[in-house]
């Protein structure tokens, strides 16, 4: 998945010598990412990278039935969807943004872009390709589609 900072602001860190140096806000993002495995027992975390204005991560859902799109489940008086991935991403984005906004005294201001990008990894070859992309992301920062200079044009 890829999650972008609202307005593509570079607030999560910097890239120096092909390595990401996290800012205070980048450290908050990392803390919440790692905490997901304690909150959701059916997931595991794989490669991830926190870039200056976006985040890439691989999240494995171990019991994948209904994880992304599930048939409606009846509750007492209403029908609701129980989709694990949007719940996890929602928790991650809401809580990391809340702590970041508290730290910078901007409560209520959007920190993350409204949506996120997902890709279902279906085989080992796809996993390998995406892991390599994530690992190499800091090395290719200036050519990255999220590099800030590309938004000034």
Domain annotation for the chain: domains and CATH numbers: 2-143 (3.30.70.1290)
Region 136-145: mean pLDDT is 90
The whole-number average pLDDT for the span 115-119 is: 93
Burial category of 71 from C-beta neighbours within 10 Å (exposed 0-12, middle 13-18, buried 19 and up): exposed
Q: What is the mean pLDDT of the chain?
A: 87
Decide if 144 contacts 137 (C-beta within 8 A). yes
Percentage of residues of the chain with pLDDT beyond 70: 85
Q: Which residues contact 37 (CB under 8 A, 6 or more apart)?
A: 43, 44, 45
Decide if pLDDT at 139 tops 50: yes
Identify each DSSP E strand in the chain by its residue range: 2-4, 13-16, 19-22, 43-50, 54-61, 73-74, 79-80
Please give the residue that has the higher pLDDT: either 130 or 152: 130
Comparing 67 with 10, the larger pLDDT belongs to 10
pTM of the model: 0.84
Q: Compare 126 and 150 and report the one with higher pLDDT.
A: 126
Q: How far apart are CA 73 and CA 71, in angstroms?
A: 6
pLDDT digits (tens, 9 = 90+) for 46-82: 999 999 999 999 999 887 554 454 444 555 544 444 5
pLDDT band at 106 (very low <50, low <70, confident <90, very high): very high
């Amino acid at each position: 998945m890829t999650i972008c900072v609202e307005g593509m602001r570079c607030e999560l860190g910097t890239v120096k010598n092909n390595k990401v140096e996290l800012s205070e806000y980048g450290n908050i993002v990392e803390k919440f990412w790692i905490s997901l495995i304690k909150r959701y027992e059916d997931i595991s975390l794989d490669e991830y990278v926190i870039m200056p204005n976006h985040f890439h991560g691989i999240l494995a859902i171990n019991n994948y039935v209904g994880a992304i799109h599930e048939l409606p489940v009846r509750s007492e008086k209403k029908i609701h969807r129980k989709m694990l991935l949007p719940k996890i991403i929602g928790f991650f984005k809401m809580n990391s943004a809340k702590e970041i906004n508290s730290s910078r005294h901007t409560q209520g201001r959007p920190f993350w872009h409204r949506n996120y990008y997902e890709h279902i990894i279906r085989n080992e070859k796809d996993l390998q390709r995406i892991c390599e992309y994530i690992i190499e992301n800091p090395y290719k920062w200036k050519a990255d589609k999220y590099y800030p200079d590309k938004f000034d044009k």
